[in-house]
Amino acid sequence: MTARTLLRQRERGIQNLNQLTALNVRKVTRFRKEGIEALETAISNLKIANKKESVSKETPAEETASR
């Protein structure tokens, strides 16, 4: 959930975290050895998954119309 929230905020250009999101980031990364890196990896994976999902949702009519 935290990775998804951070991805959404980055896509919208929001740089500052609200208090709840900042607290969740601290909780997620606090006791993990490579916590920040793991969170960034999760964000990257979500970004890739979202791109694949949006491509697979296109119908053939939309694909030919966009060409």
> 57 phi and psi, to 5 degrees?
-80, -15
Q: What residue ranges do the domains of the chain occupy?
A: 2-66
pLDDT above 70 for 2: yes
Regarding predicted confidence, which is higher, 63 or 49?
Answer: 49
Distance in angstroms (rounded) separating the CA atoms of residues 57 and 43: 21
Contact 52, 15 (CB under 8 A): no
Q: What is the model's pLDDT at position 25?
A: 95
* pLDDT(64) > 60: no
Task: Supply the pTM of this predicted model.
Answer: 0.70
**Which pLDDT belongs to residue 57?**
74
Q: Dump pLDDT digits (tens) for 18-54.
A: 999 999 999 999 999 999 999 999 999 999 888 888 7
CA–CA distance, 4 with 49 (Å, rounded to integer): 11
